Amino acid sequence: MTSPENQDAMLPTPEDRTPENAQTENPKTSAAVDASTAGSTPADARSLSPDDADLSGIRGWLFDLDGVLTPTAMVHMHAWSRLFTPYLEQHGAEPYTESDYFAYIDGKPRYDGVRSLLESRGISIPEGDVTDAPDDDTVHGLGNRKNEAFNQTLAEEGVEAYPASVAFLDAVIASGCRVAVVSSSKNAEPVLAAAGIDDRFEVIVDGLVAARDGIRGKPAPDTFEHAAELLGLPTTACAVVEDAESGVRAGAEGDFGLVVGVDRGVGRDALRELGADVIVDELDELLPAVHRAAAATDGDASAANDRTTASPTPEPEPREDHA
């Protein structure tokens, strides 16, 4: 999940990616490419096992927030339910269910989530603007009402980061990789601070940044691409870590080195079809791959040093002067 977020037309799965994006430019192992492109391979084999992942080409990690680093996705889910359950009942529409969250809201910017859900029920209301009061019957008013409920719940209950995600985050930082948060939520900074992990991130691209800079939200890859640019890295050297349908689509649509799907409820089959290269239940499943990549990097550096010391620059031969 993420925060309040996206759902568009189906984007290409790994099987449909162009050779340039999937095989030539991305630093994925041939095993990853073979597994993801083998049309006759059983569904479970079309994504790479965490044990087999080759992370040696990855120098940046772009993390979604809600549902990947923190369990705030549940807070968002409850806030959306408190908003839409009575609202849809008042309009005589089909009742709100948890599946609506995944289909129309999860991963999207807040107001886009409102629009998508209302469109699914054939309800049309004025757009309004960001200054609308939470009681206003507009797209922005409903979005602001939901945000108010989210902030109240966060203040009352607090939030703790997933221990496995923190272990993975600290491991990739220790290995020399750079990290960023890419979230559709406009509450990313307070959530990171409440979870006590805000000091890990040099780059945060959230809903506020996207709105300020006019960057398209998920499932477009633009916010992830912007984060990679801010880290000073090419997208092919960055991995996207997502649990929302729209976020995985965004990673698959962009030219990223790896897309990691964290299954918090979307389901492995859905994440795989949306374009996840590796699927995990918890991020610490990738720790062995992080350690292998770090060891390989250290070994390459050591070998390079050995070659340098073993091959000193030869002394120039004395030159004969001819009269």
Which residues are catalytic, by number? 64, 66
Q: Which of 280, 71, 282 is nearest to 161 (CA)?
A: 71
Q: What one-letter code names the amino acid at 193?
A: A
In the three-class reduction of DSSP (H, G, I as helix; E, B as strand; rest coil), residue 27 is classed as coil
Q: At what angle do helices 245-253 and 222-231 cross, to 10 degrees?
A: 60
Query: What is the rounded CA–CA span in Å between residue 69 and residue 152?
Result: 20
* 171, 288 contact by CB (below 8 A): no
Residue type, 263: D
> Cβ–Cβ contacts within 10 Å for residue 199, how many?
8
Between the alpha carbon of residue 211 and those of residues 81, 130, 168, 208, the distances in Å are: 25, 11, 30, 5
3-state helix, strand, coil in the chain (%, to 5): 50, 10, 40
Q: What is the dihedral of CA 83, 197, 290, 56, to 10 degrees?
A: 90
Could you give the 3-state DSSP secondary structure of residue 106? strand
Residue with tokens 């992990």: 197
